[in-house]
């Protein structure tokens, strides 16, 4: 049962055995992250069955991913800033400021949803038309994106209200609301896509409708739980407004996260353009790239959940100057991340046909996808080291390191290398950009981690 934070809950961060503490906090978060990964994956699996002769529907959903990723960047970054300010205010016993942080965050979430609704209404078709001349892809993609963006209030509200529960220690409720939304999406997808039980056949638009319905229901559940079961914050209508002082504090924390995730959207969009230069197989290649991103989320999302558990443990023990607990947490998190990545590598290397088969690809897509999955998966173990290392830096107070690594990996290395390799005329060489970029990223992360651990040790010794 969830309860408000108590001194015991806070003290366990510095007293409970690290292994038990990390696993106890990480497992619910890992499950939540896996559930979050289900949304786009389920959509893509059902969409891939619309046509057995081409990949147009699947390609449309793949090309839409940068816009969806950008929405998640704004939702996640805003919610992160709101949560950090809210948690700090509660820790300082400043209840009114905590309430204002929550309510101002809600106001910003609605503003973001309105912005993306306008983008969806006016720019969905030009977004696809600039990427492909295939009329079916433009038609499918426009209908999908318009519904997702115009109905983005569901995604933004779900992020906001679930993060309020997480900020006050009620992660079990978050897991329940996320699973409810995912199950609704799973049930409605085939019904709306294929027109079952008397519903009209909506095809790709049905996948979008199922997604936003699941998000809206989950958001409403999370709002009700906050109102009924979360006494740590008070949502007051008079506080749901623009407050420049609170907004500044929220985005001081959240903006770097938005920028990092937005860089990911730029990378996906640009790499799709590079793949489309392969005229005969370009659209199939972008569909394959989309499938890869859906599949890799099931490998990376649990590690992000592990990270979310690791960060507060490290931050607490760094503040308490318990350097041995900091090091042990890092070591266990690194082992856990590499174990998960190893499972991912084994699956991608030994069973790419099975993984691709979930998406009912064409024969050409299977051929291209097998080499893509095997080559790209070779960077997973390197990525595990990078993810944990840079999160340690963030936990101890060096968030700019994460931004530097993200820019270098995706914009300075991956995209230029992918473009250069595409000049060979061999599609498989483009996928090599991923392990090359990840190696550079890992080297940077280890350099930053070494400096951060040195700082942590000096901080611990300064108390002696």
- pLDDT score recorded for residue 40: 67
11: pLDDT strictly greater than 50: no
Residue 121 near residue 44 (C-beta atoms within 8 A): no
Per-residue pLDDT of 53-84, as tens digits, reads 677 888 898 889 889 989 998 998 898 888 77
- In order of 263, 373, 375, 400, 460, the CA distances from 353 in angstroms are 30, 10, 14, 40, 51
As a whole number, the mean pLDDT across the chain is 87
- pLDDT score recorded for residue 111: 96
Per-residue pLDDT of 96-115, as tens digits, reads 888 998 999 999 999 999 99
9: pLDDT strictly greater than 80: no
| Enclosing H/E stretch for 40 | helix 18-47
Name which of 157, 152, 80 is nearest 120 in CA terms. Answer: 152
372: pLDDT strictly greater than 70: yes
Reading the block at residue 44, the tokens are: 């893509």
264: pLDDT strictly greater than 90: no
pTM over 0.85: no
The C-alpha atoms of residue 279 and residue 290 are separated, in whole angstroms, by: 18
Higher pLDDT, residue 293 or 52:
293
Residue 203 near residue 57 (C-beta atoms within 8 A): yes
The pLDDT confidence band at residue 116, using thresholds 50, 70 and 90, is: very high
Specify the 3-state DSSP secondary structure of 242: coil
Name which of 13, 154, 164 is nearest 81 in CA terms. Answer: 164
The C-alpha atoms of residue 232 and residue 302 are separated, in whole angstroms, by: 28
138: pLDDT strictly greater than 90: yes
Residue 129 CB coordination number (10 Å)? 14
Higher pLDDT, residue 282 or 90:
282
- pLDDT score recorded for residue 91: 63
Q: Which residue has the tokens 């931004």?
A: 403
- pLDDT score recorded for residue 273: 93
Give me the mean pLDDT over the 345-374 stretch: 92
38: pLDDT strictly greater than 80: no
**Where do the domains of the chain lie?**
1-24+276-464, 48-253
The C-alpha atoms of residue 358 and residue 352 are separated, in whole angstroms, by: 10
The pLDDT confidence band at residue 30, using thresholds 50, 70 and 90, is: confident
């Amino acid at each position: 049962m969830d309860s408000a934070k108590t001194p015991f809950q806070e003290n366990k961060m510095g007293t409970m055995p690290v292994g038990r503490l990390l696993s106890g906090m990480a497992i619910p978060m890992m499950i939540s992250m896996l559930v979050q990964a289900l949304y786009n994956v389920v959509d893509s699996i059902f969409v891939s069955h619309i046509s057995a002769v081409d990949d147009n529907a699947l390609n449309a959903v793949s090309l839409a991913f940068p816009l969806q990723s950008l929405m998640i960047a704004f939702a996640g970054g805003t919610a992160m800033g709101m949560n950090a300010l809210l948690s700090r205010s509660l820790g300082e016993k400043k209840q009114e400021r905590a309430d204002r942080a929550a309510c101002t965050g809600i106001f910003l979430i609605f503003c973001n949803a309105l912005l993306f609704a306008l983008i969806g209404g006016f720019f969905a078709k030009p977004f696809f038309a600039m990427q492909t001349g295939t009329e079916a892809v433009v038609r499918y993609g426009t209908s999908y994106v318009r519904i997702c963006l115009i109905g983005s209030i569901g995604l933004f509200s779900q992020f906001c209200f679930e993060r309020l529960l997480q900020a006050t220690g009620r992660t079990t409720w978050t897991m329940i609301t996320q699973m409810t939304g995912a199950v609704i999406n799973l049930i409605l997808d085939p019904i709306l896509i294929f027109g079952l039980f008397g519903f009209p056949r909506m095809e790709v638009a049905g996948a979008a409708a199922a997604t936003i319905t699941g998000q809206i229901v989950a958001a409403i559940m999370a709002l009700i739980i906050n109102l009924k079961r979360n006494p740590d914050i008070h949502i007051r209508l008079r506080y749901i407004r623009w407050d420049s002082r609170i907004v500044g504090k929220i985005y001081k924390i959240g903006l770097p996260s938005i920028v990092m995730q937005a860089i990911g959207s730029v990378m996906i969009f640009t790499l799709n353009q590079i793949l489309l230069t392969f005229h005969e197989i370009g659209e199939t290649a972008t569909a394959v790239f989309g499938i890869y991103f859906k599949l890799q989320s099931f490998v990376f999302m649990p590690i992000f959940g592990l990270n979310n558990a690791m960060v507060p443990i490290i931050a607490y023990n760094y503040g308490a100057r318990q350097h041995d607990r900091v090091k042990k947490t890092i070591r266990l998190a690194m082992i856990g991340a590499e174990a998960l990545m190893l499972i991912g590598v084994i699956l991608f290397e030994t069973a790419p046909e099975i993984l691709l088969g979930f998406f009912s690809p064409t024969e050409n897509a299977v051929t291209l996808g097998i080499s893509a999955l095997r080559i790209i998966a070779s960077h997973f173990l390197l990525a595990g080291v990078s993810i944990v290392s840079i999160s340690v830096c963030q936990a101890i107070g060096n968030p700019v390191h994460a931004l530097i690594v993200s820019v270098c990996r995706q914009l300075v290395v991956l995209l230029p290398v992918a473009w250069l390799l595409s000049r060979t005329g061999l599609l498989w060489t483009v996928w090599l950009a991923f392990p090359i970029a990840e190696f550079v990223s890992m080297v940077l992360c280890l350099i930053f981690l070494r400096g951060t651990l040195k700082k942590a040790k000096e901080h611990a010794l300064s108390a002696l």
